[in-house]
Amino acid sequence: MTFDAIYSSAMDVLNKLSAYERFGPETTVCVLSTRSGRIFYGVSRVETVNGMPMEVHAEIIAFREMQAMGETAVETLILLSAVDRSPLIPCPNCAMFIMQSGDNASTTVALPDRMIRLSEIAGTPAKKPVASKGSLLKDKVGDLMSVMEDEDDEDEDIEEEKPKKKKLFGLF
């Protein structure tokens, strides 16, 4: 699918959703086309995993919807900020997950200036957060809570950074 085709599918989805849903500034929407020509979408949301609220990315929701209908091969996907409707690059975790859950190394990701392969994103090492909320908090309470430092470090490793988006947790 071309950028224009998938973007216009994504606009149809966003227009329908906007009629009854209010999006937060961090909400993303992913629209994907399968090799068989079907369109699926997902909206990022918070799910409770082991009693903890975890942000589930839109790419994963869309991919699950697709799998539920018996499909595994994604031709093209686009990820958008729900509010300003600008395309975003999926995170490496989601790219890796989708690649490994089907024959999707050649799946294309639609960006305004180019189409890139999912494998190019998955191959990018995750950027280390420079200053996360977790580390700032740790500096403040470090003396009092030195016992918990190991746990804090693990939390930082789970955290991921996206350009334009700030997330406390990333469940891919």
**Which structure tokens are listed for 153?**
């470090």
57 vs 138 by CB, closer to Zn ion = 57
Closest to 126 (Cα-Cα) out of 169, 150, 92, 76: 92
Cβ 159 to Zn ion shortest distance, Å: 12
Q: Which of 6, 59, 7 is nearest to 28 (CA)?
A: 59
Least Å from the CB of residue 96 to Zn ion: 10
Rounded to the nearest whole angstrom, what is the least distance from the CB of residue 108 to Zn ion in the complex? 17
- Residue closer to Zn ion, measured from CB, 10 or 94: 94
Q: How many CA atoms lie within 13 A of 19 on its CB side?
A: 6
Nearest residue by C-beta to Zn ion? 94
Nearer to Zn ion, 1 or 56 (CB): 56
Q: How far is the CB of 139 from Zn ion (least distance, A)?
A: 28
Q: Of the two residues 77 and 94, which places its CB atom closer to Zn ion in the complex?
A: 94
Binding footprint of Zn ion on the chain (CB under 5 A): 57, 91, 94, 172
What secondary structure does DSSP assign to 31-78, as a single string? EEEETTS-EEEEE-EEEEETTEEEEEPHHHHHHHHHHHTT---EEEEE
